[in-house]
Amino acid sequence: MSFLLFLRGFIAVLVAFAVASYAITQSAWTTFIQTLICAVIIQVGYFIAILFMVWRSGETGKRGETLARGENVAASATDIQPKGETAQLPGVGRSPLP
């Protein structure tokens, strides 16, 4: 999510929250404090979401490296096989049928 998209949504949510809060409390000071608390909570949630996305992208990279290493191993195994035989895929059992 781009920052401008987040900022636009952030401001819209805070304005809607402030209007609803003022309609309920009829106090500008209480509305200001509650809207400020709401803004901090949204910022913390955004920060946690960004951290989660960075953490998840790191795991995806590790999986890609593991797969690349596995593909290299499978490719080298097919080079060693005699002609007419096929290499078994790692993690896939042989068929009971001939």
10, 46, 17, 48: which is closest to 33 by C-alpha? Answer: 17
Helices (H), the chain: 3-25, 28-80
- Asked whether 18 and 31 are in contact (CB, 8 A), the reply is yes
**6-31 pLDDT tens trace:** 889 999 999 999 999 999 999 999 99
30 φ, ψ (degrees, to nearest 5): -65, -40
Does pTM top 0.75 for this prediction?
Answer: no
**39-72 pLDDT tens trace:** 999 999 989 998 999 998 887 666 666 655 655 5
